[in-house]
Structure 1
Amino acid sequence: MDTAMTSTTGTTSTTCPSCGGPIGAADRYCEACGAELSPAATPATAAIDTDTEPTVELNPSAARSAEAPPGPCRSCGGVVGDDSYCQTCGTKAAKPRDHFSEQPAPWVAAVCDRGIRHSRNEDAVAVSADAEPGSRAQLVVCDGVSSSLDSDVASLAAARAAREVLAAGHAQGMGTESSRNSAVVARLKAAADAANDAVLANTSPDSPNPASCTFVAVVLEGDLLVAGVVGDSRAYWFPDNAEPVGLTVDDSWAAELIATGVPRQQAETGPQAHAITRWLGKDAPDHTPRTTTVKVDGPGWLVVCSDGLWNYCSEAAPLADLVRQTAAANRGEPLATASALVDWANAQGGQDNITVALARL
């Protein structure tokens, strides 16, 4: 996933022995090719960006609820032992956290997947919705920063904490459109506060790399869409009969380059393409989400995703085409469409964790 940009000096890096890509001093896996790195492959000095596996679980009951006991072996149906291997065919069982989905209503669904290259799933998603299609929904995606410890725990706790705040209130304001907008924006900021508190609760006070994650959330209240973002997870609105809209702008080095005129493709494939400038966590410079408000005046798809998806299809127009074609192939069913989009991202290489949350309005 992304790396957090800091002002720390003395960073040391080298190259992956498999693909030649850049790696940090404490990396255990190459971000470019996914190769496991031996201790001799990295320099001994400390670095900022790492893929260190989690060593501490401070609040497993709150954030590890996706970790249920393994079911029958997916390969042969046999019994999976305590060592996570099938006692019949020897296949290693997938962790429930590696791939999970949510569908609170038929018109809203989300799928979160480890991808192919990474050893753990640091993405997280939490969604809720009323039963009536297009009425009211809340979609949250958090993407753990791979250079921080326990980012998989923290991201899941953050997403669920934000969802609880967003789902608890029904914004009315003072009865005017502007006051309703302000009420939803205030609720989004409260959700980001709750998410940040959840990250802090899942961070060891002695951690050299405090847990951190991105945050993007979208609230639908009837004809009103309000999106809030910290980091580089994204939200899009793809109306059926109008131009697609990107609801968020990344807090990233790449976005800053694009703002200066650097072509998007160049900025998003450069060496600092996934370095983020804002995030949730103990060392976050500012976790107040930047918000965007859009009025919905027709049917369409609301998409909230991590960079595991948009990295392969960044701009709104081609991503809208992909979503529409995928939805058509899956009879417009949100869960099947989200799952197919995850499969598509894995087919492109699956170099990162992948999260796709959809609402069909």
Structure 2
Amino acid sequence: MDGSMTSTTHTVCPSCGGPVSDADRYCEACGTELNPAAAGAGSPNTPALDTDTEPTVEINTAPPVGPCVSCGGTIGADGYCETCGAKAAKVRDHFSEQPSPWVAGVCDRGIRHARNEDALAIAADAEPGSRALLVVCDGVSSSLDSDVASLAAARAARDVLTAGHAQGIGTESSRASAIVARLKAAADAASDAVLENTSPDSPNPASCTFVAAVLENGLLVAGNVGDSRAYWFPDNSAPVALTVDDSWAAELIATGIPREQAESGPHAHAITRWLGKDAPDHTPRTTTLKVAEPGWLLVCSDGLWNYCSEAAPLADLVRQTAAAAGGEPLATAAALVDWANAQGGQDNITVALARI
């Protein structure tokens, strides 16, 4: 699934020439709204769905009050600059979370998209390296209300992970099994949240990817549905990709096609599993790892890894960025978002980090 989940007619975007389908509301490459007149058409008894509204799930960030990013003027109560008339950026376009000094995340609209359909929700205990919960969801751009659904899904999953602290029967294997079970319950909650934010009459029901990483006292468990990813970058050992994408590209890589070729093909971002009303299965595939040395845990959307996919070069990028940011997770996450935007920012970008 890369923009629609039904049979469609494919054409090109009138703005950038990128491939689009007749079910797409926005171009995946540049964010241009497609056929806006038709989007509002339909039966007079059927209310039009507004797909570019602020999410009903609130973000704990103060609304923009200025100055205007265009001219430095004052933003009025209507959300427009009183000097130049430019519309103020939405809070959802760029927000961050930092529940503890050693864990932080940044979510950004990017440059080319009309709205931010990525979402993150994170939590952490105060003691560095003790307990961290990182969730990222990436809304599918052609599905209606995916921005609302992705944020609701991420927060629902985080709440389930935060509430549980299962220890099994005391052994490491039972503790790992308990965390895996909790992560699967978090995916269930995320799926339910997507369904709750899906119009029953939607021709393209809300959908999103899901990835979560749970660190608890030296044990790391990651699970995903779709193509958002988790990585572990130890300081003195080989970097590890904790997740495998549910995508056509991943299937090609498994057959021996070089990664660079598979991830640059016409269906590179066609995903085979997702959260949503028409999802075939939303049970995450999980990986368990014992953390034995310091390092960086990264959870991200494809807005980052699009430009640096393999674990080794991405680990180098994170380490170099962290060194320049003084090792501070929030500054490092923000700098990685800036880096992705500098590469083109063709997608929404989410970066969540824990310094262990």
TM over 0.5: yes
- Deviations along 1:228-274, one digit per CA (max 9) or x if unpaired, are 10000000000000000000000011101111111111111111111
1:181 aligns with 2:176: yes
Identify which of 80, 103, 112 aligns with 1:108.
Answer: 103
Instruction: State the match for 2:143 in structure 1.
Output: 148
Task: Work out the CA distance in 1 between the residues paired with 2:3 and 2:253.
Answer: 18
Contact 2:68 2:81 (C-alpha < 8 Å) held by counterparts: no
Query: For 1:185-196, what aligned pairs fall within 5 Å after superposition?
Result: 185-196=180-191
- Deviations along 1:276-295, one digit per CA (max 9) or x if unpaired, are 11111111100001000000
Contact 1:254 1:267 (C-alpha < 8 Å) held by counterparts: yes
Note the residue ranges of structure 2 that are not aligned, 5 or more in a row. 42-48
Instruction: State the match for 2:338 in structure 1.
Output: 343
Task: Work out the CA distance in 1 between the residues paired with 2:276 and 2:15.
Answer: 33
Identify which of 73, 81, 94 aligns with 2:67.
Answer: 73
Task: Work out the CA distance in 2 between the residues paired with 1:125 and 1:175.
Answer: 31
Contact 2:225 2:245 (C-alpha < 8 Å) held by counterparts: yes
Task: Work out the CA distance in 2 between the residues paired with 1:360 and 1:155.
Answer: 25
SS in 2 for 1:323: helix
Task: Work out the CA distance in 2 between the residues paired with 1:290 and 1:158.
Answer: 17
Task: Work out the CA distance in 2 between the residues paired with 1:53 and 1:354.
Answer: 23
Amino acid corresponding to residue 246 of structure 2 in structure 1: D
Count of residue pairs the alignment pairs up:
347
TM-score by length of 1: 0.91
Contact 1:116 1:350 (C-alpha < 8 Å) held by counterparts: yes
Identify which of 82, 85, 100 aligns with 1:87.
Answer: 82
Query: For 1:192-231, what aligned pairs fall within 5 Å after superposition?
Result: 192-231=187-226
Contact 2:3 2:24 (C-alpha < 8 Å) held by counterparts: no
Query: For 1:1-361, what aligned pairs fall within 5 Å after superposition?
Result: 3=2, 6=5, 8-9=6-7, 11-38=8-35, 54=51, 60=56, 63-65=57-59, 69-75=63-69, 78-361=73-356
Amino acid corresponding to residue 24 of structure 2 in structure 1: D
SS in 2 for 1:276: coil
Q: CA deviation at 1:53?
A: 6.2
Task: Work out the CA distance in 1 between the residues paired with 2:31 and 2:164.
Answer: 42
Q: CA deviation at 1:177?
A: 0.8
Instruction: State the match for 2:44 in structure 1.
Output: none
Cα distance change of structure 1 residues 352 and 66 upon mapping to structure 2, 3 Å threshold: farther
Cα distance change of structure 1 residues 4 and 17 upon mapping to structure 2, 3 Å threshold: closer
Task: Work out the CA distance in 1 between the residues paired with 2:288 and 2:127.
Answer: 22
Q: CA deviation at 1:23?
A: 1.3
Note the residue ranges of structure 1 that are not aligned, 5 or more in a row. 45-51
Q: CA deviation at 1:34?
A: 4.1
Task: Work out the CA distance in 1 between the residues paired with 2:244 and 2:12.
Answer: 31
Cα distance change of structure 1 residues 53 and 309 upon mapping to structure 2, 3 Å threshold: farther
Q: CA deviation at 1:27?
A: 3.2
Amino acid corresponding to residue 161 of structure 1 in structure 2: A
TM-score by length of 2: 0.92
Contact 2:4 2:23 (C-alpha < 8 Å) held by counterparts: no
SS in 2 for 1:257: helix
Q: CA deviation at 1:150?
A: 0.4
Contact 2:32 2:114 (C-alpha < 8 Å) held by counterparts: no
Task: Work out the CA distance in 2 between the residues paired with 1:159 and 1:194.
Answer: 9
Amino acid corresponding to residue 19 of structure 2 in structure 1: P
SS in 2 for 1:104: strand
Cα distance change of structure 1 residues 227 and 119 upon mapping to structure 2, 3 Å threshold: same
Cα distance change of structure 1 residues 171 and 324 upon mapping to structure 2, 3 Å threshold: same
Amino acid corresponding to residue 354 of structure 2 in structure 1: A
Cα distance change of structure 1 residues 196 and 310 upon mapping to structure 2, 3 Å threshold: same
Contact 2:229 2:301 (C-alpha < 8 Å) held by counterparts: yes
